[in-house]
Each structure stands twice: as C-alpha cells, then as structure tokens.
Amino acid sequence: MWRLVPRKRKSSASEPEADPRRNGVVKVAARAIPEIEASVLPRHVAIIMDGNGRWAKKRHLPRIAGHRQGVEAVRRVSRAARAMGIEALTLYAFSSENWRRPEEEVGDLMGLLRHFIRSDLDELAEDNVRLKVIGDYRRFSPDLVEMIDGAMARTAANTGPLLAIALNYGSQAELVGVAREMARRVRDGEMAIDEIDAGGIEGLLDTHELPPLDLLIRTSGEQRLSNFLLWQAAYAELLFVDTLWPDFDGEALAEAVAAFGRRQRRFGGL
C-alpha cells in the first residue's frame, strides 16, 4: 500500500479534451502519456472514483458539475488504459450504499449513466472493447436496465480490452450471494462441503470473467476500500492518490502504473 501526491496542475470545467487516438499518440490535456514497459503492466486495474463532490465544492459549483467532470475523467482514463494495453479496467461508479444519497443526486447519476451509454457506446464498440457490468444493476429503472443489457450485448463478441462498470455493487453482498449458492449446492447434493475452495468461490464472483486484480487505485486522498472488490483485492497492490477524480487523467494513470511496476510482488513468498 502506498500513496502518491498529485501533480500541480490547472484545472477548469471548460478545459478542452484532446482526441487520444490522434496521430497514434495518446494525449490527455495536451500531455503525452509516458510509455510503460509491458513487463510491469498490470493486467487488471480497478479504480474507486472518489472526489467529484469535493471538486465541485472547491469551485462553488453544484455536485452535478463534479459528476459531469467525473464522466469526462472516465473517458480520459478508459482511453488511456486501452492505449497502454491494460486488459481490464474496473470502475466503481455506483455502490449499493449510494442509494442513501439525496434522491435528486441519485437521479442525476442515473441520467449521466444514460448519457454515457448513448454517447460512448459507438466508440467502445469501434475500439473492440467489451463492456461488462458488475453488481445488481437490475434494481435500476426498466429503461436503464434495457440500455445496459443492450450495451453489453452489442459488445459481447468483442475481443479487445474489457471495461467493467460497478453499478449498485457491494462486495459484502457479492460474497453473501456466493455463500448462499455454495450452501444451496451442498444442500441439493451437487457438491460436498469439503469441495468448497477458493477457486470455486472465484468462479461465482461477479468478476469471474476478468483477470486477477493487480492494482486498485482510490482517488481523493481517502484510504479505505469502501466495500469494493474485497475478495479480489487480497493480493492487489493498493494505491491512494490525493488527486480528485475529475482531475485524474491518462498521465496520472501512467504514474500509478509506473509505481506498480516498482513494487516487488511476493504473494506471501520470499
């Protein structure tokens, strides 16, 4: 576990976003993303995207302005991850605890999700990205569930990077669901109790199609997992950065990946 201090930079809600695919060079806010050695590249990166509200508060803007800029950060970072060759990127977009927020804010977040699917699905499909959603998203309104199902179906045959969005996700609920399914199989005689093992549990997790988690990043300076990928993070490297999520970009992701590459991962050995 370690922490990075953010770079000094100017940020503006109206700051233009460069096309990351132009001339074959990935750029974000006119800065080229440093090249990363393939030997130190994590296969699977997950991010707790925190700090939208504080970003807006610092600028005396409503919280929705921070969430809008957070969506722009999603675009920048997901494009940068694809350019780097990261196989899977998982983003914590809406936790099962976020229902406790004011109804208006929850409605705004659902609206932004609809807009993201409408505006970005074509690009994801063209870039051979496979979209996956983890969590109990079927609690959302029927029209939004239909949009999510359609987006996953459209990209299901793609063979490129995987973009996983955690929606109405909570790791404790995920593990309870796995435990219940294991108990049902034992009760129904489908397996013996001594056949329960880590591999069987992992095969029932929402993330069973993703590579093992290598790097988990949390923005905004908070240092906790907030019920996110608790099982999956067992041997992941944890990185807590002070940068607020709307200011996070491809260069910040490259810095995090470079820090990951300097770690020695022993997985309990010497």
Backbone angles phi, psi at 178, to 5 degrees: -65, -45
Across-strand partners of 152? Answer: none
- Spot the catalytic one: 23, 50, 206, 242: 50
- CA angle at 230 for the pair 56 and 191, rounded to the nearest 5°: 145
Buried b (16+ CB within 10 A) or exposed e, 116-154: bbeebbeebbebebbbbbbbbbeebeeebeebbeebeee
Across-strand partners of 133? Answer: 165
Measured CA to CA, the distance from residue 9 to residue 34 in angstroms comes to: 17
Determine whether 50 is an active site residue.
yes
CA count, 13 A, side-chain hemisphere, 24 = 0
- CA-derived radius of gyration, the chain: 19
Backbone angles phi, psi at 48, to 5 degrees: -90, 105
Q: Which residues are catalytic?
A: 50, 98
